[in-house]
């Protein structure tokens, strides 16, 4: 099993554990590389992300931990850059590009907060048409690399976080497939890898990672690349279900690769 994880959150943003506790857990697990990816400042919603001061403290702490534990673990400092976040200075080891919100007029609507907010948003802004909601999401997703300068494409189909078993819409519906494939094909052209993200599994929302198995098959058919990640918000969920995710990927013809840092 791959023993590295680059989508990891701490108390610097919306994670539950301090960075050093995460480092110690990674060492105890026998991990080889650990990447922190705090949420970049998002002006439209400051409830979960790092402030300017928090970002400076984050970078300082990760640098200190990198030095303290350099004989035991490779520690990297990354950032998770939302589609609507402030662009960061270019001094990170890597950037994860993600879409967490839909911009509708002057409103920024989260797609991953909870099922109730998700359903209410579909009713309020789309007249209950979840496919129209997904179409907007994937139009934004198609541009996430150019918008965020990402090295890794984060949770591609986050719009389906609460849709296990088709709770809100049919992921085999032609409108959904058309929108998802259009975004996926556009992102494949960038050459950036997609993360196979187990975060919704550890939170109990899904039994499979992002992207869903049909989308993983599309990535395989198009010659795309993948990297395993946990989107961990607790030290206990580092590398969550990586063995199962790796088997799933291999079953559709994909082999997870070691993440290539930008520096």
Helix (H) or strand (E) holding 188: helix 174-188
CA 128 to chain centre: 26
Domain-embedded: residue 109:
yes
Per-residue pLDDT tens for 198-228?
999 999 999 999 999 999 999 999 999 999 9
Domain-embedded: residue 262:
no
Angle between helices 213-221 and 242-251 (to 10 degrees): 50
Per-residue pLDDT tens for 77-99?
999 999 999 987 679 999 999 99
Entry pTM: 0.97
Domain-embedded: residue 214:
yes
What spatial distance separates the first Cα and last Cα of the chain, rounded to whole Å? Answer: 25
Asked if residue 232 lies in contact with residue 5, where contact means CB atoms within 8 angstroms, the answer is yes
Contacts of 52 (CB under 8 A, 6+ apart): 41
CATH of the domain at 188: 3.20.20.140
Domain extent, residue 170, equals: 4-251
Counting the structural domains of the chain, the total is 1
Among residues 263, 239, 212, the alpha carbon closest in space to that of 91 is found at 263
Domain-embedded: residue 86:
yes
């Amino acid at each position: 099993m791959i023993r590295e994880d680059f989508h990891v959150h701490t108390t610097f943003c919306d994670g539950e554990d301090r960075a050093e506790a995460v480092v110690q857990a990674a060492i105890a697990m026998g991990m080889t590389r650990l990447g922190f990816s705090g949420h970049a400042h998002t002006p439209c919603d400051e409830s979960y992300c790092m402030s300017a001061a928090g970002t400076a403290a984050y970078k300082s702490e990760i640098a200190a931990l990198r030095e303290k534990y350099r004989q035991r673990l490779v520690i990297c400092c990354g950032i998770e850059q939302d589609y609507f976040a402030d662009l960061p200075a270019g001094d990170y080891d890597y950037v994860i590009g993600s879409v967490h919100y839909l911009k509708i007029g002057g409103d920024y609507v989260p797609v991953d907060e909870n099922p109730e907010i998700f359903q209410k948003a579909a009713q309020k802004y789309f007249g209950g048409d979840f496919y129209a909601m997904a179409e907007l999401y994937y139009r934004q997703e198609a541009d996430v690399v150019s918008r965020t300068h990402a090295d890794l494409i984060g949770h591609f189909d986050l719009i389906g976080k609460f849709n296990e078993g088709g709770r809100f819409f049919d992921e085999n519906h032609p409108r959904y497939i058309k929108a998802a494939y259009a975004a996926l094909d556009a992102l494949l052209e960038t050459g950036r890898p997609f993360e196979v993200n187990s975060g919704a599994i550890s939170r109990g929302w899904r039994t499979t990672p992002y992207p869903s198995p049909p989308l993983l098959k599309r990535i395989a058919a198009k010659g795309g690349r993948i990297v395993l990640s946990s989107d961990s918000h607790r030290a206990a969920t580092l590398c969550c279900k990586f063995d199962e995710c790796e088997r799933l990927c291999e079953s559709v013809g994909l082999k997870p690769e070691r993440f290539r840092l930008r520096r």
